[in-house]
Amino acid sequence: MAIQVTADTERGPAFLRIAIALQTLTIFLQAVSAGLLLTSSYGETLHSAGARVMYGATMLYVLAAVLAWKPGGGPLRPVLHASGFLVLASAQVVLGIAHVPSVHVPLGVAMFALSVLALARR
Q: Write the pLDDT tens digit of every residue in 30-52.
A: 999 999 988 998 999 999 999 99
Look at residue 13 in the predicted model and tell me its pLDDT: 82
Q: How is the chain split into domains, by residue range?
A: 10-121
At 52-86, the pLDDT tens digits run 999 999 999 999 999 988 876 778 999 999 999 99
Cα atoms found within 13 Å of the Cα of residue 107, Cβ hemisphere only: 18
Q: What is the mean pLDDT of the chain?
A: 89
Mean local confidence (pLDDT), 77-106: 95
Ramachandran region, residue 100 (left: φ > 0; alpha: ψ -120 to 50; beta: rest): beta
pTM for the whole thing? 0.84
7 pLDDT band (50/70/90 cuts)? Answer: very low
E strands in 20-60: none
